[in-house]
Structure 1
């Protein structure tokens, strides 16, 4: 397992454990975060806007991690405690031993192993 793969797995475990400090320590000071709802947030804005109690998550099933140099893709299925689930892909960039950037690409919501229709 590569160091970056280990960092990603550790970050997912810290997030699931609601360990905000461990997540903060893994992120570079100049960290940036982008998702379909968030455009290029800095570290402070990420925690203000995106951090919440992770008790609603039952587990993350990491399906694949591809690492090339200081970049990586991870695809995972997130299962909520209420039975909902969704599948995302995230693109990570690393610098100086820390996560410098995460770009999230949301997947469709799923229930009972099937995709739910999307509102148009």
Structure 2
């Protein structure tokens, strides 16, 4: 079962890179919620209205680790933009069966061409 959830996560990141909104929507439950430093438990419709954007600015996602514990998975990844900016985040995925019921995002440091970029508070 753990490998299945890890596969769902890998498929989700691949769908983001393909700009395949339908595949992303289909991976989420109807009552999906998303939380980040900018969003507090927003629902699926609000997530797509506020957060969905074309991923043509992303050069790659490096999935560094996926740890599955029952219906929860922790994912740390590095996102590299085409302009040389990169950042590392950790996300906590909550599952209901093979569908993603929630994602909580924890932002990491941002770099541009290997140099730390201080973020505005």
Q: TM-score, normalised by structure 1?
A: 0.95
Q: Tell me by how many angstroms 1:110 deviates.
A: 1.1
CA distance in 2, matches of 1:56, 1:103: 22
Q: How does 1:1-120 map to 2 (within 5 A)?
A: 2-119=3-120
Q: TM-score, normalised by structure 2?
A: 0.94
Q: Tell me by how many angstroms 1:96 deviates.
A: 2.7
Unaligned runs of 5+ in 2: none
Deviations 1:12-60 (A, max 9, x none): 0001110000000000000000000111110000000000111000000
CA distance in 1, matches of 2:40, 2:89: 17
Unaligned runs of 5+ in 1: none
Deviations 1:47-101 (A, max 9, x none): 0000011100000001101101110100000000111001100000000320000
